[in-house]
Amino acid sequence: MDASGWLKEHIRDIPDFPKPGVVFKDITPLLGHPAAFRHTVERIGDHFADHSIDKVLGIEARGFIPAAPVAYRFAAGFVPVRKAGKLPWRIESEEYALEYGNDLLEIHCDAINPGERALIVDDVLATGGTAAATVRLVERLGGVVVGLGFIVELAFLAGRGKLQGHDVVSLITYD
Ligand code: AMP
């Protein structure tokens, strides 16, 4: 079995969560498995090893977990991207599409300095709306998106299409 197949064994499918028709990709078995968690962090880091990275952004909430150790690896800062109303200081916000309606993602306005190089990390790439909004937040602050790293990609939802022109890596793909 290849590394991706091995890692996939640590993802748990939860049908009809949080609502009917959705198969939730539960990463908690992977996070709780020492070798699988370490491998996840190392593979995302290895993919961008030739780049200099100033900030690693984690998307609330599960994205925080792999993003923080990736930031440590690059000796970069960690930046939380949060849902509306959670950040205490001045913010920039971007709308992203949900199945029904829109929601907001927010970042502190001083989280990235102009010219800084940013890596975006999240657990799952689905339709790509969340990740694309995060790219816009980085660029609004004058940062440069080096790439995006995901543990899981739901390729049938074509989220990569919203991230064209960016270096996107995912460790486990569902076609
Ligand atoms: P999207 O904007 O559609 O790419 O959705 C990505 C965000 O929603 C990520 O932050 C994921 O944590 C979450 N997400 C979407 N679909 C799933 C799923 N099937 N299982 C787990 N998380 C998901």
- For the stretch 13-66, pLDDT in tens is 999 999 999 999 999 999 999 999 999 999 999 999 999 999 999 999 999 999
The residue contributing the CA closest to ligand 1 atom 15 is 126
DSSP per-residue codes, 15-84: ET-SSTT-EEEE-HHHHTSHHHHHHHHHHHHHHTTTS--SEEEEETTTTHHHHHHHHHHTT-EEEEEEET
- For the stretch 69-102, pLDDT in tens is 999 999 999 999 999 999 999 999 999 987 677 8
**Amino acid (one-letter) located at 33:** H
**Closest Cα partner for 68 from 118, 76, 49, 129?**
76
CA of 24 to the centre of ligand 1 (A): 8
- pLDDT at position 98, please? 79
Which ligand 1 atom lies nearest to the CA of residue 27?
A: 21
CA of 62 to the centre of ligand 1 (A): 10
The residue contributing the CA closest to ligand 1 atom 23 is 124
Catalytic residue annotation: 62, 99
CA of 128 to the centre of ligand 1 (A): 8
Which ligand 1 atom lies nearest to the CA of residue 129?
A: 2
Domain boundaries, the chain: 3-174
CATH numeric code, 3-174: 3.40.50.2020
- For the stretch 95-141, pLDDT in tens is 998 767 789 999 999 999 999 999 999 999 999 999 999 999 999 99
- pLDDT at position 148, please? 99
Which ligand 1 atom lies nearest to the CA of residue 130?
A: 2
- pLDDT at position 139, please? 98
Where does the pLDDT of residue 146 fall: very low under 50, low under 70, confident under 90, or very high at 90 and above? Answer: very high
The residue contributing the CA closest to ligand 1 atom 11 is 124
- pLDDT at position 142, please? 98
